[in-house]
Amino acid sequence: LLPVFLYRKSKYSVRLPKAVLLFPILGGIFTAFDHGTWNSSLRYTSAANATLLGNTAPLWVALFSWLIFHQKLKGLFWLGLTLALGGAVIVLGSDFIRHPTIGLGDLLAMVAGIFYAGYFLVTERGRQKLDTLSYVWLVNLMATFVLLLITLGMKMPLTGYPTQSYLAFLGAALVSQVGGYLSIGYALGHLPASIVSPTLIGQPVVTALLAIPLLGEALRTEQWLGGLGVLMGIYLVHRSRERSKVAELAALGN
């Protein structure tokens, strides 16, 4: 896909100020360390634990937005976030509940969630200066460069993997990187990170639903209830933003 971005006509084809480039550069660094730590966590913990702890990003986004950027978040937002995270725990966290010890893999997955939160916060501001395609391309260019340096520094092979692994790499690139990051990048150009990130807690629910036809896994009753909790939490988060907008308009009218 690189030639598409190189030859596309963009209104940002002129030299960009360093202050503007800082956002995609930081976004790329956060993305690289997010991918690096999360994928490394799978060597030491279960996929369920890694997914659950990696999806704590909305919590860090909310805390950083409140503490650093002084964003006012309503009680309905915190209720929705708590409900969504609680639902995710029920859907994916049964293993974690049975064995609530924190090991190296769990710590790596949690750190990945913090890096993911950093990407959301940086992208929210970067998208105010750049269009979606330009921003995501710069982010992935930087992330690729950082991950390449890490791979070479750790003397890990870049070739010699089985065909199935290369197909998995391609699928992840097309679905997660191109589809997922373009969608996130577009959304963060129109909504704050504190609203976009909780929506992604729905990932475990989608994963569990896809496992039914693809892997033949049946969902337990509590997992269905957890999924409903996630969806209700996401709904409350978005309702909190709608109420905030109504309150702001009313204040302006007065």
pLDDT tens for 159-182 read 889 999 899 888 888 887 778 888
**Contact residues for 99 (Cβ-Cβ < 8 A; gap 6+):** none
Residue 3 forms part of a structural domain? no
List Cβ neighbours of 163 (8 Å cut-off, separation of 6 or more). Answer: none
State how far the Cα of 47 lies from the Cα of 211, in Å rounded to an integer. 13
Whether residue 32 contacts residue 146, with contact meaning beta carbons closer than 8 Å, is answered with: yes
Q: How far apart are alpha carbons 147 and 153 in whole angstroms? A: 10
What is this structure's pTM? Answer: 0.79
Cα–Cα nearest to 228, from 245, 246, 253, 204: 204
Token pair in block for residue 222: 């509590």
State the CB neighbour count (10 A cutoff) for residue 23: 21
Q: What is the pLDDT of residues 218-233, one digit of tens each?
A: 667 777 788 788 888 8
Structural domain of 78: 17-253
97 within some domain: yes
Contact 54, 116 (CB under 8 A): yes
Specify if 189 maps to a domain: yes
- At 138-162, the pLDDT tens digits run 998 999 999 999 999 989 888 889 9
Split into its structural domains, the chain has a count of 1
Q: Determine the pLDDT at residue 249.
A: 46
Question: Is 12 among the domain residues?
Answer: no
Residue 1 in domain? no
- Could you tell me if residue 158 is inside a domain? yes
Helix and strand numbers, DSSP H then E, in the chain: 13, 0
Residue 9 has pLDDT above 50, yes or no: no
Amino acid at 231: L
Instruction: Examine residue 48 and state whether it is found in any structural domain, yes or no.
Output: yes
pLDDT digits (tens, 9 = 90+) for 195-219: 888 877 777 677 667 767 766 666 6
